[in-house]
Structure 1
Amino acid sequence: METKNWLLLTYKVPAEPAKKRVALWRRLKGMGAVYLQNGVCLLPRTDDHARRLKMVENEISEMAGESVLLETVALDQAQENKVIARFKADRDEEYVEFLGKCKDFEAEIAKETEANHFTYAELEENDVDLKKLQSWLEKIRKLDFYGANLADEAEQRLKHCEALLDSYAQRVFDAHDENQ
């Protein structure tokens, strides 16, 4: 198996203002970083991640903090598997949340169908909600570096939501057909 290289960022920033510390944590999590412990995180080694982490390193300096950015590999296959499992677990948490929102979307379509509420306004609202789901899944996919377990289920669930909205849209169009 090919050895995976990671970028390891260790940092220490002042406790106050907490707002800056939290913003830094959010930024790193938003890049898909896995935290091994407070102030120690990993990302797969890519040129994009290296560039972005160098910018984070600069931010940490501006916050009067300290950081070290290293390229590293796991000591053995078992350690590498542990790290990959952490990345997958983080993404699966996001997929679980996404799947919950898909369930909400499906329930909303079912409710409107049950009530025979086939309006353009409702269709537009549901279309906006579906676009949010599509965008959200795309963001999760971009951070799913190692193929999390729930990735396929999330993809299929989104397709189901898209099909539901298509079916609902057809019912709206039928209900408003001027030729009837």
Structure 2
Amino acid sequence: MYKVPAEPTRLRAGVWRKIKGMGAIYLQNSVAALPQSTSAERSLRVLRNEITEMGGSASLLVSQVLAGGAEIEQAFKAARDDEYEEIVDRCEDFLRQIEKEYQAEHFTYAELEENDEDLVKLRNWFAKVRDRDVLGASGVAAATAALEKCEQVLDEYATRVYAEEGEGR
């Protein structure tokens, strides 16, 4: 539970981003929940300190759900599924970008490096979401498959780049 000063609004937005980045769900305004873990507690303690330094207040509680546990669990899973779905969408964008490279016949090391960096970002994002997915959201399978497809297509593109760049020497 927290309360931050109304101004400047960037403080409130920053707290919200950090809480969402931890994988928390909001139970109501300014009341967020995370499954209990050492890393979650550590992150929340750091955030609490930041909130108090900005002139706000925050309390950290350990609680037990007496009723409504299934709904809370479903909210956590839905939050992760939303993130997995966004990863799948970005994978589709990635595949379209590779297709554009083929259409434009851009088979250079520079293009390959740029696309490889994009795939690394997708993998890192997936790893962060997977780490937050302590309750096993169903969207992980689609995101895993989408990433595997991206890796396969990038490998095929790399083979073409190596062939084209080799011919140019």
TM-score (norm 1): 0.86
Match of 2:9 in 1: 18
Q: Which residue of 2 aligns with 1:70?
A: 61
Q: Aligned residue for 1:104?
A: 93
Pair 146,15 (structure 1): closer, same or farther in 2 beyond 3 Å: same
- Confirm or deny that 1:163 pairs with 2:143: no
Summarize deviations over 1:63-100 as a string: whole Å, max 9, x none: 33233221111114xx2111111111111111121111
Unaligned runs of 5+ in 1: 1-9
Stretch of structure 1 that moved more, 50-59 or 159-168: 50-59
Aligned to 1:172: 161
C-alpha distance in 2 between matches for 1:104 and 1:140:
19
> Secondary structure of the equivalent of 1:75?
coil
Q: By percentage of residues, which structure has more strand?
A: 1
Closer, same or farther in 2 for the Cα pair 1:17/1:30, shift >3 Å? same
Partner residue, 1:84: 73
Shift of 1:62: 2.3
Q: CA deviation at 1:141?
A: 1.1
Q: Distance between the aligned counterparts of 2:63 and 2:134, measured in 1? A: 17
Q: Give SS of 1:36's match.
A: strand
How many percent of aligned residue pairs carry the same amino acid?
47
Equivalent in the alignment of 2:41: 50
2:143 to 137, 140, 154: 154
Residue identity matched to 2:32: C
Give the match for residue 130 of structure 1. Answer: 119
1:51 Cα offset (Å): 2.3
Evaluate the alpha carbon distance shift between residue 51 and residue 179 of structure 1 in structure 2; reply closer, same or farther with a 3 A threshold: closer
How many residue pairs align between the two structures? Answer: 169
Aligned CA-pair RMSD: 1.9
Partner of 1:7: none
Q: 2:119, 2:82 → 1: CA distance?
A: 20
Partner Cα distance (2:80, 2:88) in 1: 12
Higher helix fraction: Structure 1 or Structure 2? 2
Deviation at 1:42, TM superposition (A): 0.4
State the alpha-carbon separation in 1 of the partners of residues 165 and 48 from structure 2: 58
Structure 2 runs not aligned, ≥5 long: none
Cα shift readout 1:7-54 (whole Å, capped 9, x = no counterpart): xxx122221121212111111111111111111000111122222222
- In the alignment, residue 56 of structure 1 is paired with which amino acid? L
After superposition, the Cα gap between the structure-2 partners of 1:13 and 1:87, relative to the gap in structure 1 and judged at 3 Å, is: same
Moved over 6 A (4+): none
> TM-score scaled by structure 2?
0.91
